[in-house]
Structure 1
């Protein structure tokens, strides 16, 4: 078995202070295979059940290794995982993709050094799982505001682990998936071909029980205030990649306005039900309607035609004209533009460029960002017709606190306006849909996604996708969506589970640091190992 060979390597006499190359290659192969398995758990492949064995291999690869070697192995495992998982960044440039992977893999290096430490302690499967939560927490904060993409939890949009989201949000889902993987690793350590021991039976039962116990997580039930009919408009864009806007101005705006007029004609013809509200995607107008009478007129005519409030995604200038906001505007058919929500979590190098003046000297592409965006300061609860929707803008769906605060402010259903035009037909849209599925379960809220190029979708409060569009087509629908008002335990307790797991990880590291590696001894599968 892999772990037996690795442990024998650590206890074998060293030659010139280094282990035999063949054993080092086993560690390397294990961490690379673990990274690949973890990638395959994510959309679009979506083999979610490969996440635990992927974690198991990554753990076994560094268990018993020195800290420096563990860090390097963790870095390479991170690269094996992130290189394909973040390949959707390539339309911006291969250099941006490789730099992002290189930076994010540093977190896996640090975590793996910690794993090498805490696997010297009894009960290490728990401590390793807590370290994964700590690694994802850190990635969500640093650098430049964090990048919490491809968290382990986001591979579980529709799996046996998903119900844990209603108990402790994404951090608890990550913890349980990783715990299942570390128990698999410990099972590998304890399993012997000679006999099936009692501890092995207990570990095997734990591997099975961890995912199945998720179904016992309490849910608030079907508390709610009826339903609402939501119209969704996907207008598509003329170009692709960084040039998705094309050469003709206002074409994206006209696409969405024309599709709204088409929806209005279908309603009058009795082909679809009349919506209570309509949602356009993020950046559905590429011209500021506050400053352009043309854009104002196009939007206003479409809203008046459909006759209900429309949530319009717009890029608007700040009052001084020197910055911009990514804004969702409630446009009323009678009174015009009213309440709005400004995106709070901005995309680094997409909506703002850190150290722009310096980077512009070396990377000309940073000038394509245009005006620097400013972040909003309030929650996304917006009154529209009969409901208060919870507005979430694109990238924000990856951030626990943004979605949670919007739900707590009364937003139901959640409405995710997104613009994935630059990344159309990559793995980004399905990965983002998986996040929305997890959020639906976490907060017991229906989630409606409106995207410029797809994937637009409706996710019910159980996390099931009830409707979705293909990409790169113009589409529309009217959806009957439940309005839930109950709160899950995850909504109520907020970040407490994450903070508790961070304390566990910190305590485990503190306990492991004073320890010294035990003297070499004969390897035995009978030894106490967790």
Structure 2
């Protein structure tokens, strides 16, 4: 057991190295193989321990950026995320007793990944295997099989590697024929999408500007300097308008400001509203503004929205953030004794943010746009749902100021790149102080602004209405993995009860006892 635990601890760290800022994606299969080998041969009652240790080192390493919120928040959140590796260890122990166990163990990995990505409080999707696959053959499969499918493919590569390591000694150093077949099949599934990219039809073009205005001072506290933040975005947009008039830059069809480019209600604050109107009139095209608005039905609630401002008209279409951050943008069970709202930095969340529900794309001029606000980009249903309803382009408005000195910026920007591959859409990212960028449907970064930069990107992008198989499938592959977890768990318990009944001593006298009695 000590060697198993050591292997699991190292495996978790190796898996974290597959993600940014290290980004060695090829390390993920060996890491998954290490977990499987550390559990192999253990009963469920013991298999959870190495799996938990694997989860602890992986989770705390890959999400070390949470320390920017507070060490207590980092410890608490990662402890909760690590706990999901306990049922994973049990499920791996069950699966390793079955034929074709590389398939069942990889399904358990993805099922647990799906579970923790949506529970509790909308879950924490960061750390999904698919989110480290940019610039790899696995990433090329995204338009075909989606995020869940790619995670399954990476996990299957790892579990197959573990199977080969187990099989080789039994074959006296000669791989069995089935090993060649399994590896060949896996290679074909992995490499085929890179050789046969999904065909996309162009429905038009648009020129889009993304503004990164930066945050004054340390760049970590937007609310403290929110008026200066808004002024930066107004000034940069007016400078763009002047450059357009001088013929130095092309006129965009619309402009994208980031989340929290206005940290107050832009319809109630006269100064902020005047700045937005001035910028919109100067550039004379719509601006997608990131605003924090009060809920008209309840002044104790707040909405985080992307708001389309039309020149000369004012507010138009809106998108409301679907996944507010628990304990960052709202406090679950506010007022309860177990987590008082006066604890630590929770006093900085005086109002709870309301979750958006609409999947209708924004209408910005003549373009239908799928919008995502910050952590929304890490959830599958939002962007894909809007693209399925006709969105021709994707925008991501984000405010990562609190994490501006961490790898969170790189991890989230990589997810934005992967969304471009998944949906077959250009993605325009506007971040308040990094990383902003324009990404092609093949995941290529056409232009970007680094953290703490202050710049306006203006790029022509292609529009498309083609629906990839991943978009058509939606969230059903993820739901299937959850159904698998439930069915396999029920089957395992039924099999256990049957086995227990079979092991109970019979009340009938044994044949040996009968024979002894006859002899006597």
Pair in the same fold by TM > 0.5 = yes
| Cα deviation 1:347-381 (Å, max 9, x = unaligned) | 11111011232323661310102321112231251
Summarize the Cα distance change of 1:357–1:344 in structure 2 as closer, same or farther, 3 Å threshold. same
Aligned to 1:357: 335
Aligned to 2:181: 202
CA distance in 1, matches of 2:341, 2:401: 27
Aligned to 1:330: 308
User: Is the CA contact 1:158–1:437 (under 8 Å) kept in the aligned structure 2?
Assistant: no
User: Is the CA contact 1:261–1:306 (under 8 Å) kept in the aligned structure 2?
Assistant: yes
User: Is the CA contact 2:361–2:391 (under 8 Å) kept in the aligned structure 1?
Assistant: yes
Matched, 1:75 2:52: yes
Alignment match of 2:293 (pick from 302, 308, 316): 316
| Cα deviation 1:143-187 (Å, max 9, x = unaligned) | 122122211111112211112221231110110000000000000
| Cα deviation 1:76-130 (Å, max 9, x = unaligned) | 1011111111111111101100111100011111111110111010101000111
Secondary structure of the residue aligned to 1:52 is helix
Aligned to 1:183: 160
- What is the alpha-carbon root mean square deviation over aligned residues? 2.0
CA distance in 2, matches of 1:44, 1:448: 22
Q: Which runs of 5+ in 1 are unaligned?
A: 1-23, 520-530
CA distance in 2, matches of 1:80, 1:206: 32
Matched, 1:477 2:454: no
Number of residues of Structure 1 aligned to a counterpart in Structure 2: 493
Q: How does 1:443-522 map to 2 (within 5 A)?
A: 443-513=423-493, 514=495
CA distance in 2, matches of 1:357, 1:505: 35
Q: Which runs of 5+ in 2 are unaligned?
A: 504-520
Secondary structure of the residue aligned to 1:116 is helix
CA distance in 1, matches of 2:303, 2:16: 34
Alignment match of 1:226 (pick from 204, 227, 233): 204
Compute the displacement of 1:194 (Å): 3.6
CA distance in 2, matches of 1:225, 1:194: 56
Q: Which has the larger radius of gyration?
A: 2
Compute the displacement of 1:209 (Å): 3.5
Q: How does 1:358-373 map to 2 (within 5 A)?
A: 358=336, 359-360=339-340, 363-373=343-353
Compute the displacement of 1:495 (Å): 2.3
Aligned to 1:282: 259
User: Is the CA contact 2:219–2:452 (under 8 Å) kept in the aligned structure 1?
Assistant: no
User: Is the CA contact 1:118–1:509 (under 8 Å) kept in the aligned structure 2?
Assistant: no
Secondary structure of the residue aligned to 2:84 is helix
Q: How does 1:1-400 map to 2 (within 5 A)?
A: 24-192=1-169, 194-215=173-194, 219=198, 221-240=199-218, 243-246=221-224, 248=225, 250-319=227-296, 320-358=298-336, 359-360=339-340, 363-400=343-380
Secondary structure of the residue aligned to 1:322 is strand
Compute the displacement of 1:271 (Å): 1.9
CA distance in 1, matches of 2:327, 2:217: 20
CA distance in 1, matches of 2:425, 2:89: 36
Q: Which has the higher contact order (CA 8 A, sep 6+)?
A: 1
CA distance in 1, matches of 2:192, 2:203: 30
Compute the displacement of 1:509 (Å): 4.2
| Range that drifts further, 459-468 or 501-510 | 501-510
Summarize the Cα distance change of 1:76–1:315 in structure 2 as closer, same or farther, 3 Å threshold. same
| Range that drifts further, 158-167 or 179-188 | 158-167
Summarize the Cα distance change of 1:249–1:228 in structure 2 as closer, same or farther, 3 Å threshold. closer
Compute the displacement of 1:210 (Å): 4.1
| Range that drifts further, 336-345 or 171-180 | 336-345
TM-score under structure 2 length normalisation: 0.90
Compute the displacement of 1:137 (Å): 1.6
Summarize the Cα distance change of 1:194–1:292 in structure 2 as closer, same or farther, 3 Å threshold. closer
| Range that drifts further, 437-446 or 353-362 | 353-362
Summarize the Cα distance change of 1:488–1:361 in structure 2 as closer, same or farther, 3 Å threshold. closer
TM-score under structure 1 length normalisation: 0.89
CA distance in 1, matches of 2:124, 2:181: 38
